């Protein structure tokens, strides 16, 4: 007897309803922006959904479509310009459905060979673009935070092999992503922040000053983290200068390119990332600027064997896998069971080819520069820094944080855009993070106009 829940026939009408819903979601152009409700509002509208007898799929789907989905913001709306949005290609999102339907275990070659082969082609493609050797490799993890954690855990193992136990610290920019701080907390080590100055980028000199400061405070630097596109500004550190310092100090060099390293696929911008080829490890998030759905971070090591030594888990039931010499993705990060989450990007890259990616990325950068020029023309606005990639940061002269907040709330309430305030060294500003090829110059101008009122 099969259970009703697992009997394909009984799911026929539900399957149709789900595919119809997904199909309709794909048809939206643009999708509704929508917005959050409070827990009390959701409780009043939705109430309790988990019952002993079940609601039935139709009713549950209806609750999602009518109540829950509208209480989420569509990150692929062209007016979603906060944080770093996600604008998956149609092929990538469609293939996410296939991954869901396929029940592939992506942790080992034994179970997931075909999927792992395809994921590894994407990792090799990226490593090749950035100039790492063919022997490099890694794994798709859930996000940049976990990617940074895994890379820096390997770095710490390597440092400890050489020097034993020390009071370790990670050298990074004061504008590095907050996850570096979080990683240090989890690893029980420190961070030492290099000054980024007016430019927003660190290089050999500022990182060296930070390393000296760390040493005189009794800390031992164990890794340098370069940021290839800061989250707030899209500014790229001097990756070659940082590589040189890491070599001098004999320590690990990790490049956090969660958002910006995608930009190195643009031929005209490639030189700005020089030095990436010397990284011991890097990350780039397909869910940020490689047009893939949540959630995926490509994590690559120059010498993946070091990661394997750090992360292989040894339980009796895992020994058949550990005996093999094949590529087991679980060995290359702090994870075991895993979704083959690199497949949506693989399918999309295989479908469209790399050239279309390069031009879609370039289009985002061109739009960023175009709107930056428009901002510079307007006396009431001030560009905080010249953009390098696809993030544009600017101030409305005379506005306090509360003015930005009121304006931002109204933009969302009017369903025009989702643009949040941010700040630099305590001074408020706002920013456009442009990763969606559907975002238009006209929409951005409409948003600027709304600040002049």
Ligand X SMILES: *Cc1c(COP(=O)(O)O)cnc(C)c1O
The answer to whether 147 touches 137, Cβ cutoff 8 Å, is no
- How many angstroms separate the CA atoms of 333 and 315, rounded? 17
Contact track, ligand X, 138-177, x by CB under 6 A: -----xxx-------------------------------x
Least separation, in Å, of the C-beta of 427 and ligand X? 21
Binding segment for ligand X (CB under 6 A), chosen from 66-74, 256-264, 403-411, 423-431, is 256-264
Least separation, in Å, of the C-beta of 30 and ligand X? 23
- How many angstroms separate the CA atoms of 229 and 387, rounded? 10
What angle is formed at CA 285 by the lines to CA 283 and CA 289, rounded to 5 degrees? 130
The answer to whether 211 touches 219, Cβ cutoff 8 Å, is no
Binding segment for ligand X (CB under 6 A), chosen from 152-160, 251-259, 308-316, 385-393, is 251-259
- Positive or negative: CA dihedral 367, 370, 376, 377: negative
Nearer to ligand X, 321 or 389 (CB): 389
The answer to whether 21 touches 69, Cβ cutoff 8 Å, is no
Nearer to ligand X, 108 or 148 (CB): 148
Least separation, in Å, of the C-beta of 426 and ligand X? 21
**82-111 residues near ligand X, rule: CB under 6 A:** 84
Alpha helices in 64-203 (DSSP H): 90-102, 109-130, 144-163, 178-187
Give the residue, chosen from 136, 150, 173, 179, that forms a contact with ligand X under the rule CB under 6 A: 179
- How many angstroms separate the CA atoms of 385 and 391, rounded? 10
Least separation, in Å, of the C-beta of 259 and ligand X? 4
Give the residue, chosen from 280, 285, 331, 395, that forms a contact with ligand X under the rule CB under 6 A: 285
Residue 256 touching ligand X (CB under 6 A): yes
**213-232 residues near ligand X, rule: CB under 6 A:** 227, 231
- How many angstroms separate the CA atoms of 348 and 95, rounded? 8
Number of chain residues interacting with ligand X (CB under 6 A) = 13
Rg (the chain; Cα; Å): 23
- How many angstroms separate the CA atoms of 324 and 299, rounded? 22
Contact track, ligand X, 259-278, x by CB under 6 A: x-------------------
Q: Which residue is nearest to ligand X (CB)?
A: 144
Residue 399 touching ligand X (CB under 6 A): no
The answer to whether 447 touches 415, Cβ cutoff 8 Å, is no
Residue 293 touching ligand X (CB under 6 A): no
Binding segment for ligand X (CB under 6 A), chosen from 54-62, 137-145, 387-395, 437-445, is 137-145
Tokens 């293939």 correspond to what residue? Answer: 95
Catalog residues that contact ligand X under the rule CB under 6 A: 84, 143-145, 177, 179, 227, 231, 256, 258-259, 285, 297
């Amino acid at each position: 007897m099969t259970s009703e829940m697992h009997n394909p026939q009984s799911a026929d009408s539900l399957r149709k309803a789900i595919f119809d819903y997904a199909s309709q979601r794909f048809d939206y152009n643009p999708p509704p922006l929508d917005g959050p409700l409070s827990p009390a509002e959701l409780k009043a509208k939705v109430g309790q959904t988990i019952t002993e007898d079940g609601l039935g799929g139709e009713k549950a789907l209806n609750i999602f479509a009518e109540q829950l989905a509208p209480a989420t913001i569509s990150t692929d709306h062209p007016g979603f310009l906060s944080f770093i949005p996600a604008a998956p290609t149609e092929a990538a999102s469609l293939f996410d459905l296939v991954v869901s339907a396929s029940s592939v275990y992506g942790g080992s070659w034994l179970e997931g060979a075909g999927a792992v082969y395809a994921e590894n082609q994407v990792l090799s493609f990226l490593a090749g673009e950035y100039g790492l050797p063919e022997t490099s490799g890694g794994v798709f993890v859930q996000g940049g935070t976990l990617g940074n954690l895994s890379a820096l855990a390997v770095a710490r193992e390597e440092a400890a092999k050489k020097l034993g136990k020390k009071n370790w610290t990670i050298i990074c920019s004061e504008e590095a992503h907050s996850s570096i701080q979080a990683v240090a907390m989890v690893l029980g080590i420190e961070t030492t922040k290099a000054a980024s100055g007016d430019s927003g980028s660190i290089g050999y000199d500022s990182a060296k000053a930070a390393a000296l400061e760390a040493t005189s405070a009794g800390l031992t630097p164990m890794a340098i983290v370069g940021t290839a596109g800061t989250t707030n500004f899209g500014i790229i550190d001097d990756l070659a200068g940082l590589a040189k310092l890491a070599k001098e100090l004999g320590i690990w060099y990790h490049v956090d390119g969660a958002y910006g390293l995608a930009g190195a696929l643009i031929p005209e911008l490639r030189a700005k990332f020089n030095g990436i080829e010397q990284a011991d490890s890097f990350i780039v998030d397909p869910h940020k600027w490689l047009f893939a759905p949540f959630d995926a971070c490509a994590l690559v090591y120059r010498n993946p064997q070091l990661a394997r030594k750090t992360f292989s888990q040894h339980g009796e039931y895992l020994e058949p896998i550990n005996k093999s010499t094949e590529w087991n993705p679980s060995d290359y990060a702090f994870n075991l069971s895993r979704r083959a989450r690199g497949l949506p990007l693989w399918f999309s890259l295989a479908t469209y080819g790399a050239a279309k990616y390069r031009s879609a990325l370039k289009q985002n950068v061109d739009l960023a520069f175009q709107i930056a020029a428009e901002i510079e023309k307007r006396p009431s606005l001030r560009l905080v820094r010249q953009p390098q990639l696809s993030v544009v940061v600017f101030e409305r002269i005379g506005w306090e944080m509360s003015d930005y907040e009121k304006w931002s709330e109204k933009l969302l309430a009017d369903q025009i855009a989702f643009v949040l305030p941010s700040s630099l060294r305590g001074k408020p500003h706002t920013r456009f993070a442009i990763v969606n090829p559907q975002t238009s110059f006209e929409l951005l101008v409409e948003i600027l106009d709304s600040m002049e009122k």
